[in-house]
Amino acid sequence: MTQQTTQTPGPDRDSQTPRTWWQRFTAGLPTGLSLALIGLVWLAGAVWSFEEQSLFAQSRGFRTPELLPLVLDGMAVAMAAVAYAASLDARPAVFARLGTALAILCSAASNGTWAWARSGGDVETITLAAGVPVVAAIAFEVLLSEVRRQVLRRRGQPGPVAITYPRLVRLVLAPWSTITVWRREVLRVTDPARAFQTPAGPDQPRRTPPTPPRPAVEPTSPADRPAIEATPHQTPVPDPAPDPRADLVPVVRQTSARRPVAVRPPVPTAVVRLDRTGNKDRADLAALRRWQARNGGQTPSISQTQQIVGGGRSRAVRLRGLLTADQTTDPDRAAV
């Protein structure tokens, strides 16, 4: 009872010390010896099964009785070879193993039927004839499981989930509760849904929640936008968001005896532009106007604006744009 867990990338093979041929030989010796012994068991079982099934087919009147063991045992050997090749790639090969088990069961049934017919129902003869291929299949399954574990270990990947069996003392003291708890844990560990739950690793993209749509902004007319000059490498800095409370003038109109209503009076555009700025910006704009008055109405450049107001370049660009917009919308004020 094993389940293939999620595979994680193993260590870099270039960083590992290369092994000599003797180390590789000794490392693969246990698996090779086990495979050779199981191959001998399979060969002996195939000879036994070939003789039993040939005699059984001959007693039933088949003209070519050798085809029965060749088909049944040949299918078992072929499916076992496919399963072994898949185990060398750390793949479980479930269908190939099921095909091997089906062929083994058919071969065991054929051997048991012939043993029952020629022995008159002797239990020992039937057990020996049918048990040989079953024992070989069990040994082969154990070998496949061990081969997959070794392949995964060499790749630096976790092996299949190992099932821990309950201790004998618990089975003696509390058999039913122990079996119930053990069954629940085995079903949880070997749940097929766990194989499809792949955690997000460093190479996998992480899903970010979708950003909510931003509210639509009402477009402003070109007359409200200041003509800001910018160098090729300088991005114009937008105006700060206006404070809705700064534009409100406390003009109260008595509509009822309950509460007053604040009404927004019509204000010139230039005044609105100046009201969006703070006290610091008003003082800097006043300094720029004084410099402009001393220099015959010339608009200062960005570098000159920086020297006058003593701020950064982005602030100088913004203040120069406000000054230009003020001159465009209110020429009388610019001439003062």
Mean pLDDT of the 243-260 span: 53
Stated length of the chain = 336
Cα 15 off chain centre by: 27
Collapsing DSSP to helix, strand or coil, 261 comes out as strand
Mean pLDDT to the nearest integer, 74-80? 86
φ, ψ (nearest 5 deg) of residue 92: -70, -30
Beta bridge partners of 262: 252
Tokens of 189: 């560990």
Query: CA dist 278 to 163, 223, 281, 283, 318, Å?
Result: 73, 22, 5, 9, 13
CA-to-CA separations, 43 to 64, 138, 252, in angstroms, rounded: 22, 15, 108
Task: Read off the pLDDT of residues 271-311 as tens digits, 9 standing for 90 and up.
Answer: 444 444 567 778 888 888 888 888 877 788 878 887 787 77
Of 2-16, 154-168, 257-271, minimum mean pLDDT range: 2-16
> Given this model, what pLDDT does residue 236 score?
54
What is the band of 13 on the pLDDT scale with cuts at 50, 70, 90?
A: very low
Amino acid (one-letter) located at 122: D
pLDDT at 173: 92
